[in-house]
Amino acid sequence: MPITSVTKDTDALTMTVVSEFSVPVQRLWDAYADPRQLEKFWGPVEWPATFTRHDFYPGGRSHYWMTGPDGTRAAGYWEYLSMEPGRSFEVTDAFADEAGTPNPEMPMMRMSLVFDETAQGSRLTTTTWFNSQEDYQQLLEMGLEEGMTSAMGQMDAVLEDLSSFAAGTGVQTQVLTDTKVRISRIIRGTPDQVREAHRDPDLLRRWLLGPDGWRMSDCQVATKVGDRYRFAWEKEEDGSEGFALYGELIELDEPYREVTTESMEGVPGAPNINEQTLTPIAGGTLLTLIITYPSAEVRDMVLETGMTDGMETSYARLEQVLTASSRN
């Protein structure tokens, strides 16, 4: 069991949990930075978590819910108040609906996580501040301490897995809901480099191509909120089978997060919503793309096209482009 102590201070309205791990601090930090790993231990064993948003930077937000044995969902959010990469972060931790809207009828907490090196590996100190004695008692009675103990008891297995989430594993696809899909890929490069490769038309034409044998025939990039973009492709051989995607940039938080609409020319219906985040971790940048489709039917139709295979081919080219750029 990684937890070594739990200290409750009713006067200061705090609960401090100290845990020890036999891995370096960076490995422990990355488990919190990567939503694929975080959701394997954030909820208690009987209440696993699903993260539909995870902006791991100051000012960002995370949205999640935990699913109970009978299918009941309990949702919450984090708002990142501060962060010292590899060392600490502090969040507002509160109840919400599944869209991340705060629930004012439930308690709100402030939580700080501090990561320290030890002779054996690393130490995590998690301190939670409560707003009142009533909130403090309510959350303890709801099983906060027991839930945290159960959740952190799962961490060793996650930390020991050095291959499932490492650079080089390629694109991973997870169906989150009837309409939401998460695409994940570690790109060998910094968030600034990866972001620039999504902004520079010359770079985009070198890597955003899907399977071999295609070229970009149009590359109009959106650089600020309200801008529209259009990307078109055609066969290199004869310019046949052309198609285009277009949409609008609706949210931007450089260089970590952008949200766009996406439609295919000639295909009627509501657009997809694409939420892309770039998170620095060991080995490069974790690119996470949450796609919200208009319906489960559209989701399944798109996934069955082999879309993610084309994405993997493109992201592999992106790494080559970044490697070549760093040498110049």
**Average pLDDT value for the chain:** 93
Strand partners, 8: 15
Superfamily of domain 172-327: START domain (3.30.530.20)
Q: What confidence tens digit (pLDDT) does each residue in 238-297 have?
A: 878 889 999 999 999 999 999 999 999 999 999 999 999 999 999 899 999 999 999 999
Instruction: Give the integer Cα–Cα distance in Å for 267 and 288.
Output: 26
What DSSP assignment string belongs to 52-99?
Answer: EEE--STT-EEEEEEE-TTS-EEEEEEEEEEEETTTEEEEEEEEE-TT
> pLDDT class for 79, splitting at 50, 70, 90?
very high
261 Cβ contact list (under 8 Å, min separation 6): 247, 248, 250, 271, 272, 273, 274
Domain limits, CATH 3.30.530.20, in the chain = 3-160, 172-327
For residue 270, the 8-state DSSP code is P
Query: How far is CA 230 from its chain centroid?
Result: 25
> pLDDT class for 324, splitting at 50, 70, 90?
confident
| pTM exceeds 0.85, yes or no | yes
> pLDDT class for 15, splitting at 50, 70, 90?
very high
- Tell me the mean pLDDT in the region 12-28: 95
Q: Judge contact between 253 and 59, C-beta under 8 A.
A: yes
Share of the chain above pLDDT 70, in %: 99
Share of the chain above pLDDT 90, in %: 80
Order the strands of the 228-235 sheet from edge to edge.
172-175, 180-187, 284-292, 272-281, 257-264, 243-253, 228-235, 214-220
Work out the number of other CB atoms within 10 angstroms of the CB of residue 266: 7
Residue 147 pLDDT exceeds 90:
no
- Tell me the mean pLDDT in the region 304-323: 92
Class of 3-160 in CATH: alpha beta
Instruction: Give the integer Cα–Cα distance in Å for 240 and 238.
Output: 5
Residue 161 pLDDT exceeds 60:
yes
Evaluated on CA atoms 243, 278, 260, 179, the torsion sign reads positive
